[in-house]
Every structure is written in C-alpha cells, then in structure tokens.
Amino acid sequence: MTFISRAARYVLRKRVRTAVLFIVLTIITASMLSATAVSQAAQHEAGQIEKTGGRRIRAGQ
C-alpha cells in the first residue's frame, strides 16, 4: 500500500477532523494574506506621503 493510498484512506475515515483542520488552516492563511496586504498598502501610502513632502492635503480641493 503506497503512502498516497494510506493518506487517502485516513482522510476518508476522519472526514470531520479533516474538514475542521481544512477550515482552520484556510482561516489562518486568509488572515496572513490580509495582514500582508494591509502592511504593503500602509507602506505604499507612507511612501506617497513622503513624496508629497509632508504637505497638508485639504479635503474638497
């Protein structure tokens, strides 16, 4: 019996545990991707502010 067939049989036997683990890992991965996107956006905006030379920006003008 190969490694892959044993893994497939285990997953089929433990369906609920596998589903819960999959959901948890999906949530963790989505959180990490979101945090990375927010961090990169903040760095980008900080760079844009530095380029403007710290000038004040008024709303509506």
- Is residue 50 over pLDDT 90? no
- Which amino acid does the sequence have at 45? E
| pLDDT score recorded for residue 54 | 61
DSSP state letters, 31-47: HHHHHHHHHHHHHHHHH
- Is residue 57 over pLDDT 80? no
pLDDT tens digits, 5-49? 999 999 899 999 999 999 999 999 999 999 999 999 999 988 888
| pLDDT score recorded for residue 4 | 93
Provide the whole-model pTM: 0.65
Spatial distance between the Cα atoms of 18 and 11, rounded to a whole number of angstroms: 6
- Is residue 55 over pLDDT 70? no
